[in-house]
C-alpha cells in the first residue's frame, strides 16, 4: 500500500462511508485544516487537533437508517465517526464494541445503589480492553492513508490492541514500551506477530522519543500521529450506553481517568447525541476515577490549572479490595483501572454525591487476567491429603469463616 487511499473515490476502494466529518480543528485557538491533512498538533499553538462534523447532515443521515439496519460494533453510528473510506472501515473493528451493559444488582446492594450498571469493556474484542475502540479507529485511519506500518508507545493495553488490530488489518505493528514493562505484555504482543522494542526510559521519555521517531521517519503512531482519529473511537462507548438504556442517559458515568481520552470523548459523544436529536444528555454527570496519590488530572482540575504533574499511587489496597468485591458480587475480574472505578463509585455513594436511586454506569475498562501479577498474594491449602476426611475438614473451616464474615 504505497499510495494513499482517497476517501472520496469509489473505485477500486469501495464506496465512501456515511461519515459527516468535515475537518480538523484546534479547540484552543480556532485553527482549522482539511480532514485529509496529516497534522495531529496545531501548528499555531501546539495543542492537539479535534475532528469536526456537519451535525445537520449527520442528523439527516441517522434518521434515514433504523437501528435494525446498523451493525452492532464500533461503526454503528458511522455518521459521527471520522473514517471516510468504506474499505478502510471494513477491514478493522468488526467485532469491537457492543460490550455488555450489566445491571449489577449484587454489587449495587453492597454499595447502596439500586440502579448501578457496569459497562464491561473487559470483554471487548480482540484484546479485552476499551482500547480496542480507539485503536480500531486509528488503524482504520492508517489504512485510509495507504500505510501498512504502525507504531505505538504503551504501558499495556494500547500495545496489545495495536498488535491485534494491526494483524487483523494486515499492517505491521511496532510496540515501544518503557523500561519498566512487564514481560507478559511483550510476550502477548509477540504472540500476535508484533515487533516489541523496550526503551531505556520511563513512559514520558518513551513518548517523547516516539514522537521524534514519527517525525523523523514518517511512521504513523496510533496514539501520537493518529491521535485525533484514535480519540474519536472512545465516543462509541457513550453511544452504546445511551442506546442500551433505551435512549435514557444515566445520571452518572464513573470512568477511569488514564490519559483523559475516554472521559473527554464520552462527554463529546453525549453532546453529539443531543445535537443530532437522539437523546437529551445534558443532565449526565461524568465522574473521573483516579487513585489518591496518582490523580494528576483530578489534581490539575481542582487546582484550576492545566499542568499535569507525575504522582505516585497510595491507594493500592483500596483498589484491590474493590477488584475483589466486583469479582465476588458480579463475577467480573478487572484490572486496577477498573478497581479504581469501583472504589470511586463506592466513595461517591458513601459521600452522597450519587443518590441511591440514581442511574449510574461504572466503566470496567480492561480484563484482570492481564494484570494478575499485580494482585496481592492470596494463599490456599496446598498438598492436602487426597481423602474425604481431610477435604471435609477444610470445607467446614471455609464455611465457618464465611459465616463469621461481615455481610
Q: Give one DSSP letter per residue of 374-398, joined into a string.
A: GSPP-----S--SSHHHHHHHHHHH
Whether residue 227 is found in the same domain as residue 238: no
Average pLDDT over residues 211-218: 96
192 has which bridge partners? none
> What's the structural domain count of the chain?
2
pLDDT of residue 173: 98
Residue 243 has pLDDT above 90, yes or no: yes
**107 and 156 in one domain?**
no
Same domain (yes/no): 350, 205? no
Q: Is residue 386 part of a domain?
A: no
Cα separation, 270 vs 284, in Å, equals 8
* Amino acid 406: pLDDT: 80
pLDDT tens digits for 329-347?
Answer: 999 999 999 999 999 999 9
pLDDT higher than threshold 90 for residue 222: yes
Nearest CA-CA partner of 99 in 124, 74, 76, 118: 124
* Res 9: pLDDT: 47
Instruction: Please report, for the domain that includes residue 358, its CATH number.
Output: 3.40.50.1100
**What is the rounded average pLDDT of the residues 229-238?**
98
Q: Evaluate whether residue 387 is within a structural domain.
A: no
What pLDDT digit, counting tens, does each position of 382-405 carry? 999 999 999 999 999 999 999 998
60 & 192 share domain: yes
Alpha carbon of 86 to those of 90, 231, 239: distances in Å? 6, 19, 21
Other CB atoms within a 10 A radius of the CB of residue 298 amount to 17
70 and 192 share a domain?
yes
Domain termination residue (choose one: 214, 231, 248): 231
pLDDT at 311: 45
Q: In terms of domains, do 110 and 258 share one?
A: yes
Q: Note the pLDDT tens digit of each residue in 122-164.
A: 999 999 999 999 999 999 999 999 999 999 999 889 999 999 9
How far is the C-alpha of 161 from the C-alpha of 131, rounded, in Å? 6
Concatenating the DSSP letter of every residue in 233-244 gives TTHHHHHHHHHH
At residue 303, the pLDDT reads 56
182 part of a folded domain: yes
Structural domain boundaries, residue 227:
21-90+131-231
CA distance 153 to 170: 20
Mark whether 179 and 318 lie in a shared domain: no
Looking at the domain assignment, is residue 395 inside a domain?
no
Return contacts of 211-216, CB within 8 angstroms, 24+ apart: 213/151, 214/151
Amino acid at each position: 500500500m504505497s499510495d494513499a487511499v482517497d476517501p472520496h473515490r469509489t473505485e477500486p476502494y469501495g464506496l465512501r462511508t456515511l461519515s459527516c466529518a468535515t475537518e480538523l480543528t484546534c479547540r484552543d485557538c480556532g485553527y482549522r485544516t482539511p480532514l485529509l491533512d496529516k497534522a495531529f498538533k496545531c501548528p499555531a499553538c501546539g495543542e492537539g487537533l479535534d475532528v469536526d462534523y456537519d451535525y445537520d447532515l449527520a442528523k439527516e443521515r441517522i434518521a434515514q437508517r433504523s437501528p435494525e439496519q446498523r451493525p452492532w460494533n464500533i461503526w454503528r453510528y458511522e455518521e459521527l465517526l471520522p473514517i471516510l473510506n468504506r474499505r478502510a472501515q471494513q477491514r478493522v473493528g468488526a467485532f469491537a464494541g457492543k460490550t455488555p451493559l450489566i445491571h449489577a444488582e449484587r454489587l449495587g446492594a453492597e454499595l447502596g445503589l439500586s440502579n448501578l450498571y457496569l459497562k464491561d469493556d473487559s470483554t471487548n474484542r480482540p484484546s479485552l480492553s476499551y482500547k480496542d475502540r480507539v485503536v480500531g479507529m486509528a488503524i482504520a485511519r492508517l489504512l485510509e492513508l495507504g500505510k501498512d506500518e504502525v507504531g505505538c508507545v504503551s504501558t499495556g493495553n494500547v500495545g496489545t490492541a495495536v498488535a491485534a488490530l494491526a494483524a487483523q488489518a494486515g499492517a505491521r505493528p511496532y510496540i515501544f514500551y518503557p523500561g519498566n514493562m512487564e514481560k507478559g505484555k511483550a510476550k502477548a504482543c509477540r504472540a500476535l506477530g508484533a515487533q516489541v522494542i523496550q526503551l531505556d526510559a520511563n513512559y514520558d521519555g518513551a513518548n517523547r522519543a516516539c514522537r521524534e521517531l514519527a517525525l523523523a521517519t514518517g511512521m504513523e503512531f496510533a496514539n501520537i500521529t493518529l491521535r485525533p482519529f484514535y480519540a474519536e473511537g472512545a465516543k462509541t462507548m457513550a453511544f452504546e450506553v445511551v442506546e442500551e438504556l433505551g435512549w435514557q442517559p444515566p445520571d452518572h458515568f464513573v470512568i477511569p481517568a488514564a490519559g483523559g481520552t475516554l472521559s473527554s470523548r464520552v462527554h463529546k459523544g453525549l453532546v453529539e447525541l443531543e445535537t443530532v436529536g437522539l437523546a437529551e444528555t445534558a443532565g449526565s454527570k461524568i465522574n473521573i476515577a483516579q487513585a489518591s496519590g496518582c490523580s494528576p488530572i483530578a489534581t490539575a482540575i481542582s487546582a484550576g490549572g492545566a499542568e499535569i504533574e507525575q504522582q505516585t499511587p497510595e491507594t493500592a489496597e483500596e483498589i484491590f479490595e474493590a477488584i475483589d468485591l466486583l469479582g465476588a458480587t458480579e463475577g467480573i475480574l478487572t484490572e486496577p483501572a477498573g478497581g479504581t472505578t469501583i472504589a470511586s463509585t463506592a466513595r461517591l455513594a458513601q459521600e452522597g454525591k450519587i443518590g441511591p436511586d440514581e442511574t449510574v454506569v461504572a466503566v470496567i475498562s480492561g480484563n484482570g487476567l492481564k494484570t494478575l501479577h499485580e494482585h496481592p498474594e492470596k494463599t490456599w491449602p496446598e498438598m492436602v491429603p487426597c481423602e474425604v476426611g481431610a477435604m471435609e475438614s477444610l470445607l467446614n473451616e471455609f464455611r465457618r469463616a464465611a459465616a463469621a464474615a461481615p455481610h
